[in-house]
Amino acid sequence: MGKNFKSLVIGFVLLSLMLFPFFGERFYIQFASKILVMIIFVSSLNLLVGFTGLVSLGHAAFFGFAGYVLAILMQVDSSTHFVTALLISISCVGLLGLVFGVLVLRTKGIFFIMSTLALGEMLFYFLHDTDFAGGSDGIYIYSRPNLSIFDFWDVDLANAVHFYYVALVFVCLTLIFIGRIIQSPFGRVISGIRVNEHRTKALGYNTYKFKLVCFVIASMIAAVSGFLAAVQFGVVNPEMVGWHVSGHALMMVILGGKGAILGPVLGTTTLMITEEIFQMLTKHWQLLTGLVIVLVALFFPNGLAGIRIFKKGGSM
């Protein structure tokens, strides 16, 4: 019954998400798209934090960098196809992830957190203080990459509804992809690393290599979200790379429940909606948001996904 019930709930949620643009106002559709894009980013961070036990404060580097790659690409050739641009962006970020990973994975614990923060901030100041990519103003993306599917279906990414569906598809793909990783032989190893890295290594696994692969995969998923964010807003700026974005995403991971596939979905949606509501209520909305996070952390240490009704049969 549990499993059927779960499929039913997921089916219902998906259906309502698909129908949402027919009823929602433009503002809400855009806001929902923003949440969807953020879910991808938070899920990629959860792969590191929740599933591998690597707490990164520099993850926004990959998010922002992906946007910059797109912006520069569109400056070079404004007719670039969406898929080409996305693949180039993911590859560039994957390379950056490899370089960052090789450096930061030599450290552990708090030193890992600090070195991810340091590298992220280095990228921030590089983009902020040089003329290379528009400095502190960033770059405007005047024309979105074109997304025509087999020449007969033109998706206009500047159209809020079109973009919403594209984002929804990518969220589903991301969640399925991460779900596959977790259930794979590779996922078995990274769960071993999370629980007991010392023993995993003693069992013959080169844990450094596994963490590096995982770090690069997570950076590439983050690239998808950064790419989509840049497409949605038509602008990239150094703020996208800053540690605020990483920290915000980390809060969503913790709020949702680290180490659960649906944790980022719950955490991101809840935090972004409550923030929006609090912003309408008061100027000091951050105070209220902080309170909510503290309360959830206090009463639901496993996050929202750890609350009984969200809990699915046994496995995480």
Partner 1 sequence: MSPLIQATGLSKHFSGLRAVSEVSLSCERGMIHAVIGPNGAGKSTLLNLLSGETKPTDGMVFIADQDVTGFSSHQMSLKGVGRSYQRTNIFDNMTVLENCNIAVQSRSRISMRFLGTTSNYPDIESQSKSILKRVGLLSVAYQLVSELSHGAQRQVEIALALATNPDVLLLDEPLAGMGAEESQTIIDLLRDIRLDYAMILVEHDMEAVFALADFLTVMLNGEVIESGLPQKIRASKKVQSAYLGEDAGE
The reply to whether 195 sits near partner 1 by the rule CB under 8 A is yes
Letters for 142-181 (x = contact with partner 1 by CB under 8 A, - = none) are --------------------------------------xx
Residue 108 sits in the site that holds partner 1 (CB under 8 A): no
- Alpha-helical runs (H) found in the chain: 2-23, 26-49, 60-76, 82-104, 109-129, 160-183, 185-202, 207-233, 243-256, 263-281, 285-299
187 near partner 1 (CB under 8 A): yes
- Other CB atoms closer than 10 Å to residue 299's CB: what's the count? 8
114 contributes a contact to partner 1 by CB under 8 A = no
Phi, psi for residue 139 in degrees, rounded to 5: -130, 135
The reply to whether 265 sits near partner 1 by the rule CB under 8 A is no
Q: Is 94 in the site for partner 1 (CB under 8 A)?
A: no
Residue 9 found at the interface with partner 1 (CB under 8 A): no
Closest distance between partner 1 and the C-beta of residue 210, in Å? 8
Nearest of 199, 189, 203, 176 to residue 40 by alpha carbon: 176
Amino acid residing at 107: T
* Stretch 197-236 residues interacting with partner 1 (CB under 8 A): 198-207, 210, 213, 217
CB 30 to partner 1: min, Å = 34
Burial class of residue 211 in the structure, from the number of CB atoms within 10 Å of its CB (0-12 exposed, 13-18 middle, 19+ buried): buried
Residue 172 Cβ, how far from partner 1 at the closest point, in Å?
16
Determine if 192 is a binding residue for partner 1 (CB under 8 A): yes
Site for partner 1 contains 313 (CB under 8 A): no
Q: In the set 79, 151, 185, 284, which binds partner 1 (CB under 8 A)?
A: 185
Shortest approach of partner 1 to residue 296 CB, angstroms? 21
Instruction: Say whether 237 sits in a helix, a strand or coil.
Output: coil
Contacts of 240 (CB under 8 A, 6+ apart): 60, 63, 64, 67, 138, 226, 229, 230
Q: Tell me, by CB under 8 A, how many residues bind partner 1.
A: 26
CA–CA distances in Å: residue 249 to residues 14, 162, 245: 23, 25, 6
Among 31, 140, 186, 233, binds partner 1 (CB under 8 A): 186
C-alpha dist (Å) from residue 292 to 254, 263, 271, 307:
12, 16, 9, 15
Token pair recorded at residue 61:
């580097």
**By C-beta, is 198 or 284 nearer to partner 1?**
198
Of 114 and 212, nearer to partner 1 (C-beta) is 212
> Rounded to the nearest whole angstrom, what is the least distance from the CB of residue 201 to partner 1 in the complex?
5
Which residue in the set 84, 148, 196, 286 belongs to the binding site for partner 1 (CB under 8 A)? 196
Using DSSP, state whether 314 is helix, strand or coil. coil
57-86 residues in contact with partner 1 (CB under 8 A) are none
Q: Which residues bind partner 1 (CB under 8 A)?
A: 180-181, 183-189, 191-192, 195-196, 198-207, 210, 213, 217
